[in-house]
Structure 1
Amino acid sequence: MKGGSRPQTQMNSFRDVVDECGLRDLPYEGHEFAFDNGQAVEDNRQCRLDRAMVSRTWTDRFPYAKLIHLDREWSDHAPIKVILHRRSSSGSDAPKRFRFEQIWVGQDGCEDAVIRGWGQQDSDLLECINQCARELQKWKGVNIGKILRDLRKKRERLRRLNEGGRSSREVQERRKVVKEIAELMKQEETFWRQRSRAMWLKDGDKNTSFFHRRATQRKEKNHIAKIVTDDGQIKTTNTEIAACVVDYFKGLFKSSRPVGYSQLLVGIEGRVTEEMNAGLREHYRVEEILEALNQMHPLKAPGIDGMNGLFYQTYWHIIGPAVV
């Protein structure tokens, strides 16, 4: 149901203001309509009068903000409440998943970490991958955080140089600092591009703020705050939500072990010949594996081990013999 309409001129002016200020509607939770006139049947009017409009700058400052429609009591209007920060779920003690980052490639020490982690060629493959991830995590903690710290320091130095004199030494230093900032910004942009998954837009065009915004939106979109089970129970902790997801897919992919289905196949002509079947049953060749690997998108979603296609493509000369 909906409420009465307003003059079109008023709505046009309102839309112009919203467009001019670059505002958008803040996502909400709760009942759809925040206004109810309390009448019955055909006289009842419900609509969403009360909203929270925010700008892009405000959203960047509070990326997890959301609007809550509280329960309406004595008033025609339901109170609304803005939550600025995501409330952490109880039981959220799971370690952060490892993911191989594009920005690591080419950095000093990264390949050495892969070599140390990969270990002996006759080691178990899964253990090699896990040990490699641990070595990369240790290397990352020492080296990658330094990029953002250096960027802040360089920008502060540039600000002081801009406010200072214009001697030959200061001009040369400023040129050097600007060049160093550009290189650090390129690395920062690569970092946020991978997280944004906006693969259609290439890095290197000063798109860091766009990639950062997309990554934040994607993280918020993928966040699961609660799950309602088939029997109506609400699960909110990470442990409970994970258990519900596992149980769902176990049931989805579990066979009911039907019997007597062979009669359904009578009269169906086979399409796979013996020759085709023999080819399908052959062992994979190293060349085929490498060809398939090089056809993979390097930055698409990694497996459960956190290693994406880029890792295997870049360090195949180290890990290839153990993989095949």
Structure 2
Amino acid sequence: MMFLSETKLSGRELRTVRAKFEGFEGLEVDSVGRSGGLAFWWKKKVNCEFVSASVHHMDFIIHEKTGDWRVTGFYGWPVVADRHLSWKLLRILSSQSSLPWMRIGDYNEILFADEMKGGQREQWQMNNFREVVDDCGLADIPFEGYKVTCDNGQAGEDNRQSRIDQAMGTLERRERFPYARFIHLGRDWSDHSPLKLVLDRRDHTGGGKRRFSFEQVWVGEDGSEDAVRRGFERGGDIVTALEESASQLQAWKRVNIGKIVKAIATKRRQIERLNEGDRTVEEVTRRRKLVREVADLSRQEEQFWRQRSRALWLKEGDRNTSYFHRQAG
């Protein structure tokens, strides 16, 4: 499942984006002009029941064999004077169900002073947030990664960092998902970090060996057939031969496009280091330069595969056309 907030896009624009994610269903909430905008997407195999939505929330029930549970995506009012409306909405949502409840989103508020770097939060603002959390019987879900999730991108004394994006759950949630954790992932161009809510301890983001996946655009590429052939020549039984072929294909991929992928990974690690700690003018300038370079490299990688995919489509199209011409003859 995927929750997006402050998209600044219309529902139609969001549906166009969703169409690029194969196998996903979802619902979208229009932005108001270029402010706000929400989306909640899930894989088709997930039994997801829509409950309610507004410009500030999307509420669903997930039906599973082991029992139902509830998930709410939330976007808090950004203006301090309106923040009481966030707390009112959360209390209303809390009263509507007794199911185990997960609540994720951008609250535009922090719970404690140490969740902010730069600037100062009024104590009454944090107290109001803590009060609604207690009233709703919620507790913070443990997180991994850099503590803050939002950065205004400014340098020196103007830099503001805060943990306004959080995941919380009820006591019933802890009993249902005792290993749940919230992972703060690395960010590039956005002022918010992408966040991953992991419910199962077997899910290891960034860890372990990635499963091999064959890509259709490899078909017909120079050297790909040779890589498969070498794998079968070195393998013994069929399982070993397939594993060896996968290894050969991965080595072939690293040679053909590995330079771009490696450069992107290197620059993202550099960005990740710059995301943490205070910001000097030099660090902000360096980070912006790296973000532009990652965007350029990502476009090159996408262009590489688009060209290969189009070439494959045209080639297969010619084959099909020839086949039908032969049948018609």
TM over 0.5: no
**TM-score, structure 1 normalization:** 0.27
Which protein, 1 or 2, shows the higher relative CO under an 8 Å CA cutoff with sep ≥ 6? 1
Q: Which has the higher helix share?
A: 1
Q: Which has the higher strand share?
A: 2
**TM-score, structure 2 normalization:** 0.26
